[in-house]
Structure 1
Amino acid sequence: MRLGMLAEGADVALASGSDLQVTGFAIDHRKVAPGTVFGAFQGAAVNGEDFIPAAIAAGAVAVVARPEVQVSGAVHIASSNPRRTFARLAAGFFAPMPETVVAVTGTNGKTSTVELTRQIWRMAGQRAASIGTLGVTTADESVSTGLTTPDIVTFLANLSGLAREGITHVAFEASSHGLSQFRSEGPRVAAAAFTNLSRDHLDYHKDMDDYFAAKMRLFDEVVDPAGTAVVWVDDEWSQRAVQHVRQRGLRLLSVGQGADADGIRLISRTPGQLGQALEIEFAGHTRKLNLPLIGAYQAANALVSAGLALATGGAADQVFDALTRLQPVRGRLERAAITRTGAPIYVDYAHTPDALEAAIAALRPHCMGRLIVVFGAGGDRDTGKRAPMGKVVAEQADLGIVTDDNPRSEDPAVIRSQVLGGGAGLREVADRRAAIAAAIAEAQAEDIVLVAGKGHEQGQIIGAGTDCRVLPFDDVAVARECAA
């Protein structure tokens, strides 16, 4: 494809090079081949502009970079926002795209919501996939990408590859990092959802307003102007999200107890031993259904997923019937095992104060005895959430065991100390396997054990940079081994 055609489609002005043949796009100079367009971006740890000469030497025919950057030997596509310009150019190169694409943003629930949406579509006979923290998931396989929102080249290549395999429906997670760095651009996004907002990633965003603004790029710019916004309206940030929806002129499909007449209104929720009974109202009809997932926030995720399916043409009877057949998402209140005394062990990805509170609240109605929580905080991440995490568990669980999560470059003992400072009565067990074993040893027949923080992750990250090691560690597998 010629550079001029890509530039015209992306509304990008070229000073020269219109006839150059483009063979690919890359943001890593080591992946440049002859004919590549190279994106040179400033990052928190690495400045891609430093690798422009290496990229050109490897065959880059054009470089997208800031106007003041020196580019010699290739076309300089100058832009005050190189990430956005690069994404627009790349979107024209990667084709075809799946016919129906939806996105989900929010602090918690993104992974579950995109995966549950995929399941609803699949049960309706659609060939569907999800992209996010769990990787690229189809009915046949799951391939890890390692990031909630992969880089723009990987993202677009994944979408194009899925389309070539016959996938017509894709739901993807839109993280605040991905949105602020233009890693989710390109496809026509027919519908987008907002789940909730709570403290997270304040090591990257300067404050909660900045964090929220990054999320709202999804409604402000990414979703198609004729698209639908699905909003869980029972969150304290929801009305501000609705304001963005209305300002853009998108169709609103509200979900929750506060939903309007055009949305999905949750009338009641009754916890059961293996799931929960929901009574909802949609399009003037009241429906009762049994959701085979545990917890209030799982009900919220399922209903938001139903909203996305409805927004993309799903029939109401078919969509709500699918909710009764949903399967739990990996590492999201996943029952890993039952102890010899009969206590169930759940594994959940909760790693923020709000997520811990939600996971505990989800399990509490099912717990006749004590709720025992094993948790920790990751290193090189928002330190301000550590004490609040300790406070939530100390106040709302019956026993909290503080252990290591992914310490990365930090001293694990310091991290644990900061978590322990959040509340009285917490126990400290440094080794994560030993902590899980201690919780299981404590649990009696009517108790529940929650292992929180890592969820689906398969490794424990220790160190950083060249000293980084990823030790094999799967909470579900370890819980099963300890229970046995």
Structure 2
Amino acid sequence: MRLGVLAAQAGFALPAGAEAQVTGFAIDNRKVAPGTVFGAFQGAVVNGEDFIPAAIAAGAVAVVARPEAKVEGAVHIADPNPRRAFALLAAGFFTPVPETIVAVTGTNGKTSCVEMTRQIWRMGGERSASIGTLGVTTADESISTGLTTPDIVTFLANMSGLAREGVTHVAFEASSHGLSQYRNEGLKVMAGAFTNLSRDHLDYHSDMDDYFAAKMRLYDEVVDAEGTAVIWADDEWSAKAIGHAEKRGLGVLTVGEKAGTQGSSIRLLARTPTQLGQTLEIEFAGEKRKFNLPLIGAYQAANALVSAGLVLATGGDPAQVFDALSRLQPVRGRIERAAISRVGAPVYVDYAHTPDALEAAIAALRPHCAGRLIVVFGAGGDRDPGKREPMGRVVASQADL
């Protein structure tokens, strides 16, 4: 594809080099081949502009970088926000993409929501996939590992590859890092979910307001102007999230006990724990429904209902969607039963890595525990050490050992 065509699609004017043939995109100069468009970004540790000469020597036909960057021997696509410019250009190259795309942001619940959304679509007959912490889970249940939000080139290449395999529906995790670094741009995202916000990643964000602002790029810019915001209403940050969505003119679907009685909502009326899951009573579109969810924990009920909201927001049939919730499978590493001890005690594994997530996991298990609840936990060694003490307090106060 010609560079000029890609630039025009992304809304950029080229002073020269429009006829150059583009063969790929890269943000790592070691992956540059003849015909590559190279993205040179300033990072927290490494400055990509230092590698511009090496990328050009390897055959880069264009470099996307700040206006003040030095580019000699290739087209300089200058933009004060080079990450966004690079993403928009790359989105025109990596085609086709699945026709229905949704995203999930929030401190906790992203992984469960994208996987549950994929499962609901699959049970409705759609070829679906999810992208996130667990990697890429495809329509045939195969999994490749990855980051919560991969770099923009990998992300778009994955999307295009899935479309070529016949996948029509994709749910992906939109982390605060990914949103602030423009790793999710250029696609028609028709619905975006906000699950909750609690302390995390304050090694990267200056404070909670900055962290929330990064999350809200999902509604401010990423979700299509004709799209829908699906928002868990029972979080202290939810009202602000609704405000961002409404200011943009997005449709809003609230979910939870505090979901609005006016407008679109999935209102949780009652939740009753059972031995192997829980019974949920909800109201949607004026109709009350009751069904069994084969997952334990209040937050898994929240994740399941948010996932249902995403499918409904993109055209899902309500009867099929709520029926599918009764057949959801556990998500790997999310209150996942790993073993049963010799004395019959179940052993669960959970990915909880924040104080709120750890407290939620313990609270989820407590109603199903006839004896002692024993917790073994750890905290990341090099990221936000400030959350270790509150995690310890949670375990000390909530667990029996």
**TM-score if structure 2 supplies the norm length?**
0.99
Q: Is the 8 A contact 2:139 2:167 kept in 1?
A: no
Please give the alpha-carbon distance, in whole angstroms, between the structure 2 residues aligned to 1:65 and 1:308.
Answer: 36
Q: Which residue of 1 aligns with 2:227?
A: 227
Please give the alpha-carbon distance, in whole angstroms, between the structure 1 residues aligned to 2:13 and 2:309.
Answer: 39
Please give the alpha-carbon distance, in whole angstroms, between the structure 2 residues aligned to 1:128 and 1:186.
Answer: 20
Q: Which residue of 2 aligns with 1:146?
A: 146
Task: State the Cα distance separating 1:143 from its structure 2 match.
Answer: 3.6
Q: Secondary structure at the match of 1:375?
A: coil
Q: Which residue of 2 aligns with 1:406?
A: none
Q: Which residue of 1 aligns with 2:175?
A: 175
- Give yes or no for the alignment of 1:49 onto 2:54: no
1:57-456 equivalent positions in 2, closer than 5 A: 57-261=57-261, 262-399=264-401
Q: Is the 8 A contact 2:136 2:146 kept in 1?
A: no
Q: Which residue of 1 aligns with 2:9?
A: 9
Q: Deviations over 1:230-265 (max 9, x none)?
A: 000000111110110110110000000011232000
Q: Deviations over 1:353-397 (max 9, x none)?
A: 000010011011111111110001111100110100001110111
Farther off after superposition, 139-148 or 197-206: 139-148
Q: Which residue of 1 aligns with 2:29?
A: 29
- May I ask how many residue pairs the two structures share in their alignment? 399
Specify whether residues 141 and 290 from structure 1 end up closer, same or farther in structure 2 by C-alpha distance, changes over 3 A only. Answer: closer
Farther off after superposition, 356-365 or 140-149: 140-149
Q: Secondary structure at the match of 2:376?
A: strand
Q: Deviations over 1:404-426 (max 9, x none)?
A: xxxxxxxxxxxxxxxxxxxxxxx
Q: Which residue of 2 aligns with 1:478?
A: none
Which residue identity lines up with residue 217 of structure 2 in the other structure?
R
Please give the alpha-carbon distance, in whole angstroms, between the structure 2 residues aligned to 1:173 and 1:220.
Answer: 17
Q: Is the 8 A contact 1:134 1:142 kept in 2?
A: no
Which residue identity lines up with residue 38 of structure 1 in the other structure?
F
Which residue identity lines up with residue 271 of structure 1 in the other structure?
P
Q: Which residue of 2 aligns with 1:408?
A: none
Which residue identity lines up with residue 170 of structure 1 in the other structure?
V
Task: State the Cα distance separating 1:139 from its structure 2 match.
Answer: 3.1
Q: Is the 8 A contact 2:22 2:37 kept in 1?
A: yes
Q: Deviations over 1:287-337 (max 9, x none)?
A: 000000010000000000000010010010000000000000000000001
Task: State the Cα distance separating 1:86 from its structure 2 match.
Answer: 0.2
Please give the alpha-carbon distance, in whole angstroms, between the structure 2 residues aligned to 1:282 and 1:208.
Answer: 33
Please give the alpha-carbon distance, in whole angstroms, between the structure 2 residues aligned to 1:144 and 1:386.
Answer: 30
- In structure 1, runs of 5+ residues without a counterpart are 400-484
Q: Secondary structure at the match of 1:346?
A: strand
Q: Is the 8 A contact 1:135 1:142 kept in 2?
A: no
Kindly, what percent of the aligned residue pairs are identical?
Answer: 80
Q: Secondary structure at the match of 1:279?
A: strand
Q: Is the 8 A contact 1:101 1:188 kept in 2?
A: yes
Please give the alpha-carbon distance, in whole angstroms, between the structure 2 residues aligned to 1:358 and 1:13.
Answer: 51
Please give the alpha-carbon distance, in whole angstroms, between the structure 2 residues aligned to 1:160 and 1:63.
Answer: 23
Task: State the Cα distance separating 1:269 from its structure 2 match.
Answer: 0.3
Q: Is the 8 A contact 2:65 2:82 kept in 1?
A: yes
Q: Secondary structure at the match of 2:91?
A: helix
**TM-score if structure 1 supplies the norm length?**
0.82
Q: Secondary structure at the match of 2:375?
A: strand
Which residue identity lines up with residue 207 of structure 1 in the other structure?
D
Q: Deviations over 1:192-237 (max 9, x none)?
A: 0000000000000000000000000000000000100000000011
Q: Deviations over 1:168-212 (max 9, x none)?
A: 000000000000000011210010000000000000000000000
Cα-Cα RMSD? 0.8
Which residue identity lines up with residue 366 of structure 1 in the other structure?
H
Q: Is the 8 A contact 1:102 1:171 kept in 2?
A: yes
Which residue identity lines up with residue 277 of structure 2 in the other structure?
G
Q: Is the 8 A contact 1:98 1:169 kept in 2?
A: yes
The ranges of structure 1 where at least 4 consecutive aligned residues each deviate by more than 4 angstroms after the TM superposition are: none
Which residue identity lines up with residue 49 of structure 1 in the other structure?
E
Report which of the two structures shows the higher radius of gyration computed on alpha carbons: 1
Q: Secondary structure at the match of 1:182?
A: coil
Please give the alpha-carbon distance, in whole angstroms, between the structure 1 residues aligned to 2:6 and 2:323.
Answer: 44
Q: Secondary structure at the match of 1:300?
A: helix
Please give the alpha-carbon distance, in whole angstroms, between the structure 2 residues aligned to 1:180 and 1:145.
Answer: 22
Q: Secondary structure at the match of 1:263?
A: strand
Please give the alpha-carbon distance, in whole angstroms, between the structure 1 residues aligned to 2:141 and 2:231.
Answer: 30
Which residue identity lines up with residue 130 of structure 2 in the other structure?
S
Q: Deviations over 1:416-467 (max 9, x none)?
A: xxxxxxxxxxxxxxxxxxxxxxxxxxxxxxxxxxxxxxxxxxxxxxxxxxxx
